[in-house]
């Protein structure tokens, strides 16, 4: 292994102690759901936003609030509703009678970690108010523009089983999310442990293990992780295969995809793979890192044809075939 890679590897071994402590503290409250916790940490380190889809009662909100507590960061939970307006989210100008002028009253979006609870319950104009903030990390109110926190992160939830009174997220908005996570039910053993921990009447206590600057330092380390050019080509091949499957002899999925993944998917696959390597204590990326984040990064970026929907073929089925069909370096 190259000497510079060894130095990065040693630095990551040292810095990853914070991640171990974060996991341990969150595990005091959240039973199971290790994959969701790891993916939220990847999103945090990679500077990406995360969309979580799961039925009610799977501790989505509790997980996000616990993550914010152990990071000692400014957290805001925003309950999206059908009557919610953009100004309720980003803020507005308010007239001050004493000073005889208009002043900015900032909305709840001015925080480090935002939980957009049931985001698909708000109308499109309110959902789109998140677009500038998520993409540019800044908000414009009237004629003034405000820069958001450097670790600004939106974690949104949506319920897949209840569609009455909801507004499906537009493709442009969904693409702003780095990852889309699908949560399973806990195992029987995990559910028994949930009863013991949360059914006693006393909620478990957590400690702060990282500050704002610690997160910024970890993010800086992510970009130091080595990625071979062959893995860059592998990532581009994966995203290209979603657009032109026939070039990779994936003829069986050619008629299943209407639109493939955008270049944003390639960028997220790269930074996501680096963050995954960091979580595993490595200073270099291997192909498995790309696969570990690949489904979560690609599943919401593939728009399937009516033929695929008629045959009950999911985006995960298509992604699995792409991973099997694209040559691994």
Q: Where are the domains of the chain?
A: 3-187, 225-325
Q: What does the pLDDT read at residue 172?
A: 73
Tell me the average pLDDT of the chain: 85
Report the predicted TM-score, pTM, of the whole model to 2 decimal places: 0.87
Which range has the worst mean pLDDT, 12-16, 248-252, 324-328?
12-16
Q: How many CA atoms lie within 13 A of 219 on its CB side?
A: 16
What is the predicted pLDDT for the residue at 2?
59
Q: Hey, how many other C-beta atoms are within 10 angstroms of the C-beta on 255?
A: 11
First to last CA, the chain: 17
Mean local confidence (pLDDT), 129-152: 83
pLDDT band at 274 (very low <50, low <70, confident <90, very high): very high
Quote the pLDDT of residue 173.
77
**pLDDT of residue 68 exceeding 90:** no
Produce one character per residue of 183-205: b if its CB has 16 or more CB atoms within 10 Å, e if not: beebeeeeeeeeeeeeeeeeeee
Higher pLDDT, 6 or 43: 43
- What is the CA 223 to chain-centroid distance, rounded? 18
- Map tokens 């960091």 to a residue: 278
Strand partners, 106: 91
130 CB-side CA count, 13 A:
29
CATH fit for domain 3-187, picks 3.30.10.20, 3.40.50.300, 3.40.50.2020, 3.30.750.200: 3.40.50.300
Pairwise CA distance, residues 6 & 1, whole Å: 7
Local confidence band at 162 (pLDDT 50, 70, 90 cut-offs) = low
- Domain 225-325 fold: Helicase, Ruva Protein; domain 3 (1.10.8)
Mean pLDDT value of segment 142-171? 79
Question: What is the model's pLDDT at position 170?
Answer: 74
Which of 99-108, 166-175, 176-185, 268-277 is least confident? 166-175
Higher pLDDT, 320 or 308: 320
pLDDT digits (tens, 9 = 90+) for 25-44: 888 888 888 888 899 999 99
- Which pLDDT value is given to residue 191? 87
Euclidean distance between CA atoms 206 and 223, whole angstroms = 30
Question: How many angstroms separate the CA atoms of 11 and 165, rounded?
Answer: 50
Sign of the alpha-carbon torsion through 274, 276, 280, 281: positive
- Residue 58: DSSP 8-state: S
Q: At residue 20, does pLDDT exceed 80?
A: yes
Residue 1 has pLDDT above 70, yes or no: no
């Amino acid at each position: 292994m190259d000497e510079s890679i060894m130095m990065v590897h040693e630095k990551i071994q040292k810095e990853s102690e914070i991640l171990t402590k974060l996991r341990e503290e969150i595990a005091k409250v959240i039973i199971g759901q290790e994959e969701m916790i790891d993916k939220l940490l990847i999103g945090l380190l990679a500077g990406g936003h995360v969309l979580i889809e799961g039925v009610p009662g799977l501790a989505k909100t509790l997980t996000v609030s616990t993550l914010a507590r152990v990071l000692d960061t400014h957290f805001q939970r925003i309950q999206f509703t059908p009557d919610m307006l953009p100004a309720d989210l980003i803020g507005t100008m308010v007239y001050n009678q004493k000073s005889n002028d208009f002043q900015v009253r900032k909305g709840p979006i001015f925080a480090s970690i935002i939980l957009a609870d049931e985001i698909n319950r708000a109308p499109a104009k309110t959902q789109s108010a998140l677009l500038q903030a998520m993409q540019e990390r800044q908000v414009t109110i009237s004629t003034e523009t405000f820069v958001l926190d450097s670790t600004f992160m939106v974690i949104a939830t949506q319920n897949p089983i209840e569609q009455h009174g909801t507004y499906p997220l537009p493709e442009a908005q969904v693409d702003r999310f780095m990852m889309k996570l699908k949560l399973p039910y806990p195992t029987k053993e995990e559910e028994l442990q949930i009863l013991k921990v949360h059914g006693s009447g006393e909620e478990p206590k957590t400690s702060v293990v990282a500050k704002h600057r610690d997160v910024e330092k970890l993010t800086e380390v992510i970009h130091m992780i080595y990625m071979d050019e062959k893995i860059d080509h592998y990532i581009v091949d994966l995203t290209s295969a979603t657009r032109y499957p026939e070039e990779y002899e994936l003829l069986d999925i050619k008629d299943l995809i209407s639109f493939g993944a955008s270049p944003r998917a390639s960028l997220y696959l790269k930074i996501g793979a680096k963050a995954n390597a960091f979580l595993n204590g490595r200073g270099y990326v291997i192909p498995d890192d790309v696969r570990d984040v690949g489904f979560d990064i690609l599943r919401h970026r593939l728009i399937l044809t009516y033929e695929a929907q008629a045959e009950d073929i999911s985006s995960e089925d298509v992604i699995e075939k792409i991973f099997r069909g694209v040559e691994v370096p």
